[in-house]
Amino acid sequence: MIQADAFLFIEFFLNNLSFASLGLSAPIVRAVTERGYTQPTPIQAQAIPAVLSGGDLLAGAQTGTGKTAGFTLPILQRLTDRAAKRGATTGRQPIRALVLTPTRELAAQVEESVREYSKYLQLSSTVVFGGVSINPQIARFKKTVDILVATPGRLLDHVQQKTVDLSQVEILVLDEADRMLDMGFVRDIKKVLALLPKKIGDMPRQNLLFSATFSDEIKALADSLLNNPALIEVARRNATAELVTQKVMLIEKGAKRALLSHLIKQNNWHQVLVFMRTKHGANRLAEQLGKDGISALAIHGNKSQGARTRALAEFKTGDLQVLVATDIAARGLDIEQLPHVVNFELPNVPEDYVHRIGRTGRAGASGEALSLVSPDEADYLRDIERLIKRTLPRETVTGFVASAEDVAPRPPREPRNPRPQGRAPQKPKQGAAPAQRSDRSRSGNTGNSNGQSGQKKPAPARDANGNTRGGRQEPSRSGNTQANGNQPQRAKPANRTGAPANKPARPPAQKQNQSRSTGNTAAQSTESKDKPTGIKASIVKSFNAWRGR
């Protein structure tokens, strides 16, 4: 790799640099000026010439120093200088630059910057991400799209539906590359790379990796994906912004919420970004702050994209006082003049601390980052200080008592119902008797479940002839039944002798045949002793039938 560590040189000449002197055209400079930027930041001063040269790049800087403009502006310049070729099959101009981001919010923000900087150019852009309907995105691809900003998952959805053509991509950007690895996008990135051309004509595809932090894993990824990339680090690795005042308050875990409400009300904070580790914790804290009279909403991965977008918009405009977020909001969000960031819970990944507090103190503004640390988070604090190579000032806070709601454990989840086998039972019609489901017993007989699986059906009551009182008869040995409209059903024996559950057991030798008649059972029992049984009975029956003809 080419080491381009010239931070002191850039800082010395920074006041004499302008965007025009970096090789950007007048329309681009005009758009940048209208956004209030007149001089490039250190990362922009080095990255813009490197990208304009056409080579691959691995660049990192402190969060909030303008990485997005560092690759957006030179990409716009390169696409303007080179004419686009129309697709061979569609006849439309193909996608020429692809920017991949790890989160939806970052994708929307990057595309907004592309759109603002290209307002005076004949270039078009769009953004695609999950959580919203794919149909409007498909319709947008039917028009010209020069620059596409996307999350990996939704991009592959479009590839599968063959609604996007990546065969002419000239420039690939991986923004927040380390977060890509953390979120497990390596496999998706490789799938996307397999779809991209290695060359466009005689020019190789340009690959750019931008990130706020540099890890050894990122450099290993760059070695495998980039072709002799230039390396730009304009600040110490994993450093925090100097304009951000960092502070730690040591307090018991259960008293954090009371302290946070006190600080917001006492100091009259109107825009506070609060970070939690879990989605449940974010929802719970936002609800508790609302009960304290503080307007608060939560954003995290379980929220719909519409809810996340609305909450973020209200927070940016100042209509929302507190935004409670998980680390999904820690990457790339640009909130102008955000004064306060609070770590209600420290992150278990030290690098996430750098991204969290980087939401304040952006673009030369000052900010405050406050961390509420309980005794069980001491290890997290030590890892963070080791990463940033700095000891954070501490203040022990007392006098805040945890409420019962704060210390209440999370309610256990209800156990999931087992997945039913076969067809789901249909709901009975209104006014009709509910249908009773029968569960098959081990012997193969069926019985009324009575709402409980495996419960035996009680034996029916019988009269002197063995008939059930409900009108159904027990089948005779010949297999015939009374024509009463009911199907025969054998009762499950309660013992090994074969006797029904409601009758006493009797020896097999004394077992009697049950007749269909309703005569005297005692006389029938006496006659049955003289009658032959088994095979002899069949012979006698056949003989009597022959003689009666």
* pTM exceeds 0.85, yes or no: no
Q: Is pLDDT above 50 for 518? A: no
Q: Return the sign of the alpha-carbon dihedral for residues 326, 331, 332, 334.
A: positive
Among 104-118, 217-231, 436-450, 503-517, the minimum mean pLDDT is found in 436-450
Reading the block at residue 371, the tokens are: 């961390």
Buried b (16+ CB within 10 A) or exposed e, 409-424: eeeeeeeeeeeeeeee
Residues 70 and 209 in one domain: yes
pLDDT digits (tens, 9 = 90+) for 175-201: 888 778 777 788 898 899 999 999 888
**Which of 242, 284, 280 shows the shortest CA–CA distance to 260?**
284
User: Residue 370 belongs to what H/E stretch?
Assistant: strand 367-373
Residues 142 and 222 in one domain: yes
On the 0-12 / 13-18 / 19+ scale of CB atoms within 10 A, 282 is: buried
pLDDT digits (tens, 9 = 90+) for 345-397: 999 888 888 888 888 877 667 789 999 999 999 999 999 999 888 899 998 88
Q: Is pLDDT above 90 for 112? A: yes
Q: Last residue of a domain, which of 233, 258, 276?
A: 233
DSSP H helices in 366-516: 378-388, 404-407
CATH no. for residue 115?
Answer: 3.40.50.300
Residues 190 and 227 in one domain: yes
pLDDT digits (tens, 9 = 90+) for 51-93: 999 999 988 766 667 888 999 999 999 999 886 665 545 556 7
For residues 342 and 257, give the distance between their C-alpha atoms in angstroms, rounded to a whole number: 12
pLDDT digits (tens, 9 = 90+) for 296-355: 999 988 888 888 888 888 998 889 999 999 887 656 567 777 889 999 999 988 888 888
Reading the block at residue 200, the tokens are: 């466009």
| pLDDT in the model for residue 548 | 64
Q: Return the sign of the alpha-carbon dihedral for residues 119, 123, 128, 134.
A: positive
Whether residue 50 is contained in a domain is answered as yes
Q: Last residue of a domain, which of 175, 207, 233?
A: 233
In this structure, how many other beta carbons lie within 10 angstroms of the beta carbon of residue 271? 18
Domain that holds residue 278: 244-401
For residues 392 and 394, give the distance between their C-alpha atoms in angstroms, rounded to a whole number: 6
Strands (E) across 397-451 are located at 438-440, 446-448
Give yes or no for a contact between 480 and 490, defined as CB atoms under 8 angstroms apart: no
For residues 485 and 487, give the distance between their C-alpha atoms in angstroms, rounded to a whole number: 7
For residues 280 and 324, give the distance between their C-alpha atoms in angstroms, rounded to a whole number: 11
Whether residue 495 is contained in a domain is answered as no
For residues 374 and 191, give the distance between their C-alpha atoms in angstroms, rounded to a whole number: 43
Residues 137 and 192 in one domain: yes
Reading the block at residue 448, the tokens are: 């009324």
| pLDDT in the model for residue 361 | 72
Whether residue 264 is contained in a domain is answered as yes
**Which of 156, 120, 121, 119 shows the shortest CA–CA distance to 137?**
156
Question: Residue type for 360, please?
Answer: T
pLDDT digits (tens, 9 = 90+) for 210-238: 876 667 777 777 887 888 888 887 765 56
Whether residue 182 is contained in a domain is answered as yes
Residues 424, 425, 429: CA angle, nearest 5 degrees = 135
| pLDDT in the model for residue 482 | 44
Query: φ and ψ at 98, to 5 degrees?
Result: -125, 125
Residues 264 and 164 in one domain: no
Residues 203 and 270 in one domain: no
Reading the block at residue 97, the tokens are: 């630059």
Work out how many domains the chain is built from and give that number: 2
For residues 270 and 344, give the distance between their C-alpha atoms in angstroms, rounded to a whole number: 17
Packing angle of the helix pair 42-52, 67-81 (nearest 10 deg): 30
Q: Last residue of a domain, which of 170, 202, 233?
A: 233
Whether residue 31 is contained in a domain is answered as yes
CB within 8 Å of 498: residues ≥ 6 apart: 508, 511
Whether residue 538 is contained in a domain is answered as no
Residue 479 pLDDT level (bands cut at 50, 70, 90): very low
